Amino acid sequence: MGIVRRNFKRLDKNYLLVTYKTYIRPHLECCIQAWLPHLMKDIQCLERVQKSATNLIPALKKYSYTDRLKRLGLTTLQTRRVRGDMIQAYKIMTGKNKIDREQFFQLADSNYGLRGHSLKIRKDRPNLDIRKHFFSQRVVNTWNKLPQHVVDAPSVNSFKNRLDKHWEDVDVTSCIA
């Protein structure tokens, strides 16, 4: 952020978006699916960087952080992390990653629930409290809440589009659990 502040005295919306997406956000999201911050202090620390980046545009300083994100077409980093988890879960569940899904997930029995989609995942009760933050545990609730038409996407790009459209139609915070 310091380099951006020093080298760009006046940023407009388009320059900030290109600069932020090219130089700053990749550092905030590096290996995020493996290292997921679950402590509030870590989540807030990462979010503060994005918050200060959106504050670099003089015309947007008067708006709240959420309004700045909407005006820039960005989402919170927490939402992006959950989206990345859903994309990775889709790749594993549909065999796009060439990873045996049994290593991560077990399909739920047909008795598990009649509502929802056909690729529901059974959630194991972790015997260690720390395991609840593992990828194979943290994605289950959000994945199981997705509708059938999102899960049935034929490709990764169509899954991303359908997921984004679904989250636009419903409140994202209710989907992320």
Q: What is the pLDDT of residues 139-173, one digit of tens each?
A: 888 999 999 999 999 999 999 999 999 998 887 66
Share of the chain above pLDDT 70, in %: 90
Tokens of 177: 């659990």
Tokens of 69: 């994100």
Q: What is the pLDDT of residues 68-91, one digit of tens each?
A: 999 999 999 999 999 999 999 999
Name 104's Cβ contacts closer than 8 Å, sequence gap at least 6.
92, 135, 136
Helix (H) or strand (E) holding 174: helix 172-175
pLDDT of residue 130: 67
Cα separation of 83 and 92, whole Å? 14
User: Residue 16's Cα: distance from chain center in Å?
Assistant: 21
Tokens of 52: 């200060």
Instruction: Give yes or no for a contact between 89 and 139, defined as CB atoms under 8 angstroms apart.
Output: yes
H and E: helices and strands count for the chain: 11, 0
Q: Is the pTM of this model over 0.75?
A: yes
